[in-house]
């Protein structure tokens, strides 16, 4: 018989691998199992917790906000998915026991006025692409699912790829779609220096002829005017303003947050990833980027569950964020 010889460090390495395996396996299980199964792994409890015996509960007292942009059969890009992919997302979410809530219910949850069901998700769509009307809304209407669409208000009816005002009004009157703001006309990258650009909502605009930037007071006045025009236009066109706003490109700073809040926007959506809990700061709402073409419907489910599981380790969003 050949006797194997192991050094002291080899034995240490074996023990580390064994300990690591026993630690990682339960964590990986939490990404795919319902809460009733996760409790056995994490707490040893055998009794499921949920909204009814046998209901799959992946998380509770949280809302995962899903962010989409364009849905189109012909347009390609990093923010565009096909109608088939979107329909598959909805089918998978429904089959796995997710509950779709409206932006208004989400706001009530954040304020502590209402609870939310287990596995709560909110669908959001940025920019107001025309594909929302032709490919998203029919799926929502067929399944009676709510969603929110953030529109660039000053561009509605002016760009061929964006919604028209009759379409926006029809969506608004459907009792399914919350029409929200994505600025009046500040959704673009602007010159912020001789060779630099930044989102117009956070940039001090650079004038190449004058070789200088706008003043801080001019910047703030530009934001105030845009916010006012957005709310006034919605009031004129739809008969109401909105408390919901999505930061263009996800960019924000303290000045923008303050001015938006003064203009009546109480719930501000970032592009930062995370789960949302009751009582958190409503001016920095976290989202999951669901509308990228390289993410499958099953991959989205894993992303949702992993985000919910890891939410206990979330840090508060920064006071300013620029992509």
CB 34 within 8 A of CB 57: yes
| Angle at alpha carbon of residue 66, lines to 63 and 69, rounded to 5° | 155
Question: Does any domain span residue 309?
Answer: yes
Question: Does any domain span residue 292?
Answer: yes
Could you tell me if 18 and 67 lie in one domain? Answer: no
pLDDT attached to residue 38 = 39
Q: Mean pLDDT for the chain?
A: 87
pTM score: 0.85
Give tens-digit pLDDT for 110-128.
999 999 999 999 999 999 9
Could you tell me if 166 and 248 lie in one domain? Answer: yes
Could you tell me if 20 and 122 lie in one domain? Answer: no
Question: Does any domain span residue 170?
Answer: yes
Could you tell me if 35 and 169 lie in one domain? Answer: no
Could you tell me if 106 and 249 lie in one domain? Answer: yes
Could you tell me if 89 and 230 lie in one domain? Answer: yes
The confidence band for 55, taking pLDDT boundaries of 50, 70 and 90, is low
Give tens-digit pLDDT for 16-43.
454 444 344 344 444 444 443 333 233 3
Task: Read off the CATH number of the domain in which 108 is found.
Answer: 3.20.20.370
Task: Please give the torsion angle defined by the CA atoms of residues 292, 261, 147 and 234, in that order, rounded to the nearest 10 degrees.
Answer: -110
Question: Does any domain span residue 2?
Answer: no
Distances (CA, A) of 93 to 90, 99, 121, 182, 319: 5, 8, 9, 27, 33
User: What is the tally of structural domains in the chain?
Assistant: 2
Domain limits for position 36: 7-46
The confidence band for 8, taking pLDDT boundaries of 50, 70 and 90, is very low
Q: Which residues make Cβ contacts (< 8 Å) with residue 175, sequence separation at least 6?
A: none
Residue 85: Cβ within 10 Å count: 18
CB 292 within 8 A of CB 78: yes
Question: Does any domain span residue 80?
Answer: yes
Q: Phi, psi at residue 226, to the nearest 5°?
A: -65, -45
Could you tell me if 102 and 227 lie in one domain? Answer: yes
Could you tell me if 92 and 206 lie in one domain? Answer: yes
Question: Does any domain span residue 51?
Answer: no
Give tens-digit pLDDT for 240-299.
999 999 999 999 999 999 999 999 999 999 999 999 999 999 999 999 999 999 999 999
Could you tell me if 27 and 139 lie in one domain? Answer: no
**pLDDT of 4 higher than 70:** no
């Amino acid at each position: 018989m050949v006797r194997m010889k192991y050094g002291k460090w080899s034995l240490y390495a074996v023990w580390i691998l064994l300990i690591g395996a026993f630690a990682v396996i339960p964590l990986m299980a939490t990404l795919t199992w319902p809460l009733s199964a996760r409790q056995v792994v994490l707490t040893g409890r055998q009794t499921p917790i949920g909204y009814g015996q046998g209901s799959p509960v992946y998380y509770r007292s949280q809302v995962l906000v899903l962010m989409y942009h364009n849905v189109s059969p012909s347009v390609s890009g990093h923010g565009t998915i096909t109608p088939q992919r979107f329909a598959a997302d909805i089918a998978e979410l429904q089959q796995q026991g997710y509950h779709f809530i409206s932006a208004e219910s989400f706001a009530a949850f954040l304020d502590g006025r209402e609870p939310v069901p287990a596995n709560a998700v909110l669908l959001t769509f940025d920019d107001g692409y025309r594909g929302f009307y032709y490919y998203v809304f029919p799926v929502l209407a067929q399944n009676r699912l709510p969603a929110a669409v953030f529109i660039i208000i000053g561009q509605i009816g002016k760009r061929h790829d964006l919604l028209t005002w009759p379409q926006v009004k029809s969506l608004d009157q459907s009792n399914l779609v919350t029409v929200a703001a994505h600025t009046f006309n500040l959704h673009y990258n602007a010159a912020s220096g001789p060779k630099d650009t930044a989102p117009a909502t956070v940039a001090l605009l650079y004038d190449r002829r004058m070789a200088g930037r706008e003043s801080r007071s001019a910047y703030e006045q530009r934001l105030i005017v845009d916010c006012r025009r957005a709310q006034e236009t919605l009031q004129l066109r739809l008969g109401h303003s909105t408390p919901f706003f999505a930061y263009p490109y996800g960019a924000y700073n303290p000045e923008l947050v303050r001015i938006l809040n003064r203009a009546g926007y109480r719930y501000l959506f970032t592009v930062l990833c995370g789960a949302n809990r009751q009582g958190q700061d409503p001016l920095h709402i976290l989202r999951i980027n669901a509308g990228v073409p390289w993410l499958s419907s099953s991959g989205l489910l894993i992303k949702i569950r992993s985000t919910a599981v890891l939410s206990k380790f979330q840090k508060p969003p920064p006071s300013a964020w620029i992509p």
